[in-house]
Amino acid sequence: MTLSPSVLSVPMAPGVLPRCAEARCVVRSNLPVNGEYRLLTLDAPPEVLDCQPGQFFQLLCPEPEGEHPFLRRPMSIYGYDAEAGQLQFLYKVAGAGTRGLATLRPGGMLNVLGPLGQGFSMPQHWQDLLLVARGVGLATLAPLARAAQRSGRRLTAICSARRPELAMSVDLFRGYGAEVIVVHDEDGSSTPEALRGLIEARIAAGRVDAFYTCGSSRLLRLLQDLGQRHGIPGEIAMEQQMACGLGMCQACVRPFREEGGIVQRRVCREGPVFPLLEAIA
């Protein structure tokens, strides 16, 4: 018997966010990528595939044996393809929710809600893009790299990890035409000091118009400093614990800088993508 996705439309406030949908998607595959991460691929209906890079979904995770995850889990989009009808998430098994995701088998069903949040922007004058992230943070930048390739941008992706074999999405970024640089903790190449020299050399060569990053506080502080010194803008996808993912519960509020002082914003609704210099590590 073939299982078909079902969709429940969820209208959003006009002019704020596009419509999202709740859908029951069919699991196509759920495979380990390395010793820490798994790639979940779903057959999804068109209503949940009108996505932007940087957006996320709220996943209703299955209950692993003896555990009962109560809330949906927010997860950034790793890949989406409306023509193929597929949606992908890259995740690390770390808690009850992701342990539940790891139990999914081909042919099973997963309830998703999305796409949610504000995605990355890519102004026309940003032609040389530098993507810097660590671990699963690179998953959030994968759809951005795809969009950049389609619009003819030049890409450099710095992939940071604890060990070389744990560097994520290296082949994927290369497939999108990026120059990929892998840095890691074992040889010290991933320290902020080492990265500073690496990035400043590219700035001096005129190869950086904008920074993009996700998650890491130390990378945020480094890129903010370089951005201020050299007048380079950028964006960051913020990571934050969430409950509803729709902006109602206020659980994901955190402070941001504006010219008039510090303001409070919801990561799920006003974000998760924010201007780099406004974020507070």
Write the pLDDT tens digit of every residue in 94-109. Answer: 899 999 999 999 999 9
Question: Does 51 appear as a known binding residue?
Answer: no
* 106-131 confidence digits (pLDDT tens): 999 999 999 999 999 999 999 999 99
Angstrom distances, CA of residue 265 to CA of 131, 132, 225, 240, 258: 24, 24, 22, 12, 11
pTM: 0.89
**pLDDT of res. 13:** 41
Across the range 236-249, mean pLDDT stands at 93
Of 13-22, 45-54, 63-72, 157-166, which gets the smallest average pLDDT? 13-22
**pLDDT of res. 216:** 87
| Residue 264 in tokens | 């409070």
Question: Does 159 appear as a known binding residue?
Answer: no
Judged on CB neighbours under 10 Å (0-12, 13-18, 19+), 262 is exposed
CA 111/CA 1 separation, integer angstroms = 19
Cα angle value 175/141/6 (rounded, 5°): 95
**pLDDT of res. 165:** 82
If you search the block for the tokens 């999914």, which residue do you land on? 104
- CATH architecture of the domain with range 128-278: 3-Layer(aba) Sandwich (3.40)
Judged on CB neighbours under 10 Å (0-12, 13-18, 19+), 147 is middle
**4 has a pLDDT exceeding 50:** no
Q: Supply φ then ψ for residue 169, to 5 degrees.
A: 65, 20
Which residues partner with 57 through β-bridges? 75
Question: Does 268 appear as a known binding residue?
Answer: yes
Question: Domain extents for the chain?
Answer: 6-116, 128-278
Question: Does 76 appear as a known binding residue?
Answer: yes
* 186-207 confidence digits (pLDDT tens): 999 999 999 999 999 999 999 9
Q: Is it true that domain 6-116 has CATH number 2.40.30.10?
A: yes
Question: Does 140 appear as a known binding residue?
Answer: no
Q: Would you say the CATH fold of 128-278 matches that of 6-116? A: no
Question: Does 73 appear as a known binding residue?
Answer: yes
